[in-house]
Amino acid sequence: MPAPATLLATTADGHLLVLSIVVPVAGVLLSFVLSERYVRQIALAVMPVGAAIAMAILLALPRGDGFIVYLLGAWSPPLGVALRADGLSAVMLAATAIIICAVGVYAAADSPPAAGSRRVPFAFWVLLMAIWAALNTIFVGGDLFTLYVALELLTFAAVPLVSLEGRADTLRAALRYLLFALVGSVFYLMGTALLYGLYGTLDILLLSHRVSAEPGVLIAAALMTSGLLAKTALFPLHLWLPPAHAGAPAAASAILSGLVVKGSFFILLRLWFDVLLALPGFAAAQILATLGAGAIVVGSIVALRQDRLKLLVAYSTLAQIGYLFLLFPLALDGQGRLDTGPALAGGLIQAISHATAKAAMFMAVGSIYAGLGHDRITGIGGTARALPLSVMTFALAGFALMGLQPGGASLAKELLLLETARTGQWWWAGALQFGGMFTAAYVLLVLVHALSPPDQPVALAARPRRGSDLAALALALCSLLLGLLPWQPYLPIPYALESKLFGVESLVKSLITVLGGTALAILLSPWPHPLVGTMAWKDLARVLGPFRRAGLGLGGLVERGDRVLRQWPVAGICMLAVTVLLAASMFGAD
């Protein structure tokens, strides 16, 4: 089956794709030359331009049959390299632009970010623009090797952000992150080599028409998938994520947790939904979703046991990454092949919703940390009164993330639940519901502590910065309103769905999530409840005692297991084992 000719020629508006990459790259180079004094101004000038380009692509896409193509150097694939944008690219470009701008405003209002250091702001702004360039290249890249270079660009921009503060633990986290990510890239590259050897092209569109289920392709698919999983930090390949995301400065953590892991996730979607459609995806999809369910359970339980807010939020990222992988089995069609339907749309909306909410959460936690001088969860009593904007941001982002209406997560959940019903895989519906409850658990845990009265009056170490806090709040609001946006021109969403967002039924669902989350928080969190002194609580505690001891025992076991999995040799072996498992499952199905 030859590729349609329309997708092999530059379309109108194609230059927008070039600009989406070139503008942030130019920002990087310019600020590198003009040095420390102008770097912030350059970044703040690049941001509106980049955002305008993303919006222009968003507007141009429906005009061009849902595709924008640009042939670089006017060379057509397979010899040349093409840039292509579809609905997935367009929404990711827009979401990225919004998050980068919000984080930029947050960091710019936070001046000076590290008093006395010219090194930190210089590195931060240059790397922020580099991450933008890398992500945009990933979203519009039409060639697997170009995507590899973009992936490396992303890693090179992300790793130094982790160790900006220069403490030994952050340096160790950065080194671990770099090495594990590099091994992941090599796996991806190995698969790329095999695909070139089989088909003589790395163009995604050409490959999609040439690939068939031969043994070499199955091996390549397994290698590339596990390499990308390592970069996305899907359980059990997550050893690098918690220390890296918890150790970076707040603005950097927001980018790392919100955006950077979505880069490799997006390539994974490209790989499975564009390149490898001909493969028997059933078993592989079940494996990916099983790992995802494992991530939800382990990430959430360990998050509930953290005594530092930043680590709690980092472990929550681990769980949320797992949630994204539930889309794979739900996208299967009747023949056991992957299909671009509502499940893919749901997964992507969930990714965007997590990106916006998690970035807002990390920024809020950063403000709390700066205000209190610490982020111990048992010591944040009274924060709601002292830092109302930050706590409100955390709450709104948390509500969006746990799937309350009209958040993006609730729309995503509806879409995915729709597909569990269609494909008859009810067990994944359970995982989806539990995912929401677990999210509710750790969000409520933090909120209850923040709303409780303080032991002693809160003495702020630093005054809250209004600009920063408003940027974070705006992003949290974005996340909470995602469910209201018109997604249909870009993503395959059934029209009947959006009207169901409000109503009694959805209210009941939200209530169940919140109640389930409360129960989980009480059973699994080891922290003394702030209302512990009251009489009613004592009665409740007597009834719940045995259950809670069991829950805490289980939590302790999970935490110990997590510590074993985060050892380097174990994680490395897991990576190889996942590769073998994926390959074997596809051979079995073939």
Instruction: Please pick, from the candidates 9, 186, 459, 550, the single residue that binds other proteins as defined by CB under 8 A.
Output: 186
Residue 376 φ then ψ, to 5°: -75, 130
Nearer to other proteins, 203 or 469 (CB): 203
Own/partner contacts of 290-293, CB < 8 Å, gap of 24 or more, are 291/229, 291/234, 291/235, 291/236, 291/322, 291/325, 291/578, 292/234, 292/235, 292/321, 292/322, 292/323, 292/324, 292/325, 292/326, 292/328, 292/431, 293/322, 293/326, 293/431
Nearest partner of 257 among 316, 172, 325, judged by Cα: 316
Question: To the nearest whole angstrom, how small is the minimum distance from the Cβ of residue 161 to other proteins?
Answer: 9
Residues 468-527 that bind other proteins (CB under 8 A): 526-527
- Among 261-269, 300-308, 397-405, 446-454, the segment contacting other proteins (CB under 8 A): 300-308
Residue matched to tokens 């709601």 = 384
Compute and round to an integer the Cα radius of gyration of the chain. Answer: 23
Helix 309-324 / helix 426-451 crossing angle, nearest 10 deg = 160
Nearer to other proteins, 76 or 356 (CB): 76
- Give the separation between CA 124 and CA 109, rounded to whole angstroms: 14
Nearer to other proteins, 142 or 329 (CB): 142
Question: To the nearest whole angstrom, how small is the minimum distance from the Cβ of residue 523 to other proteins?
Answer: 10
- Give the separation between CA 244 and CA 162, rounded to whole angstroms: 6
Nearer to other proteins, 67 or 196 (CB): 196
Instruction: Name 210's Cβ contacts closer than 8 Å, sequence gap at least 6.
Output: 199, 201
Contact of 212 with 185, CB cutoff 8 Å: no
Instruction: Please pick, from the candidates 16, 54, 69, 72, the single residue that binds other proteins as defined by CB under 8 A.
Output: 72
Nearer to other proteins, 28 or 348 (CB): 28
Q: Which positions from 263 to 282 touch other proteins by CB under 8 A, shown as an x/- string?
A: --------------------
Residues 304-343 that bind other proteins (CB under 8 A): 305-308, 311
Query: Residues in contact with other proteins, total (CB under 8 A)?
Result: 105
Nearer to other proteins, 326 or 578 (CB): 578
Nearer to other proteins, 123 or 415 (CB): 123
**What SS3 state is found at 21?**
helix
How far are the Cα atoms of 89, 98, 473 from residue 285, in angstroms, in the given order? 22, 31, 36
Tokens of 234: 């899907």
Question: To the nearest whole angstrom, how small is the minimum distance from the Cβ of residue 569 to other proteins?
Answer: 4
Instruction: Please pick, from the candidates 44, 55, 67, 80, the single residue that binds other proteins as defined by CB under 8 A.
Output: 80
Nearer to other proteins, 220 or 251 (CB): 220
Instruction: Please pick, from the candidates 6, 62, 119, 427, the single residue that binds other proteins as defined by CB under 8 A.
Output: 119
Question: To the nearest whole angstrom, how small is the minimum distance from the Cβ of residue 116 to other proteins?
Answer: 7
DSSP 95: H
Is the backbone of residue 107 left (phi > 0), alpha (psi -120 to 50) or beta? alpha
Question: To the nearest whole angstrom, how small is the minimum distance from the Cβ of residue 379 to other proteins?
Answer: 12
- Among 30-38, 280-288, 475-483, 492-500, the segment contacting other proteins (CB under 8 A): 30-38
Q: Taking CB under 8 A as the rule, does residue 7 contact other proteins?
A: no
Instruction: Please pick, from the candidates 3, 7, 26, 429, the single residue that binds other proteins as defined by CB under 8 A.
Output: 26
Residues 526-585 that bind other proteins (CB under 8 A): 526-529, 532-533, 538, 541-542, 545, 548, 552, 559, 563, 567-570, 572-573, 576-577, 579-580, 583
Instruction: Please pick, from the candidates 45, 56, 109, 149, the single residue that binds other proteins as defined by CB under 8 A.
Output: 149
Contact of 216 with 587, CB cutoff 8 Å: no
Q: Taking CB under 8 A as the rule, does residue 138 contact other proteins?
A: no
Question: To the nearest whole angstrom, how small is the minimum distance from the Cβ of residue 548 to other proteins?
Answer: 6
Contact of 120 with 164, CB cutoff 8 Å: yes
Give one DSSP letter per residue of 166-193, joined into a string.
Answer: --HHHHHHHHHHHHHHHHHHHHHHHHHH
Measured in whole angstroms, the distance separating CA 277 from the mean position of its chain's CA atoms is 24
- Give the separation between CA 91 and CA 346, rounded to whole angstroms: 13
Residues 348-377 that bind other proteins (CB under 8 A): none
Nearer to other proteins, 314 or 471 (CB): 314
Nearest partner of 205 among 297, 290, 275, judged by Cα: 275
- Among 176-184, 346-354, 453-461, 472-480, the segment contacting other proteins (CB under 8 A): 176-184
Residues 43-62 that bind other proteins (CB under 8 A): none
Instruction: Please pick, from the candidates 42, 53, 61, 70, the single residue that binds other proteins as defined by CB under 8 A.
Output: 70
Instruction: Name 489's Cβ contacts closer than 8 Å, sequence gap at least 6.
Output: 61, 62, 66, 87
Q: Taking CB under 8 A as the rule, does residue 588 contact other proteins?
A: no
Question: To the nearest whole angstrom, how small is the minimum distance from the Cβ of residue 130 to other proteins?
Answer: 5
Q: At residue 311, what is the residue type?
A: L
Residues 192-211 that bind other proteins (CB under 8 A): 193-194, 196-201
Question: To the nearest whole angstrom, how small is the minimum distance from the Cβ of residue 342 to other proteins?
Answer: 34
- Among 54-62, 64-72, 389-397, 485-493, the segment contacting other proteins (CB under 8 A): 64-72
- Give the separation between CA 525 and CA 554, rounded to whole angstroms: 11
Nearest partner of 265 among 242, 232, 289, 292, judged by Cα: 232
DSSP 495: G
Nearer to other proteins, 422 or 548 (CB): 548
- Among 47-55, 100-108, 119-127, 316-324, the segment contacting other proteins (CB under 8 A): 119-127
Q: Taking CB under 8 A as the rule, does residue 444 contact other proteins?
A: no
- Among 215-223, 330-338, 485-493, 494-502, the segment contacting other proteins (CB under 8 A): 215-223
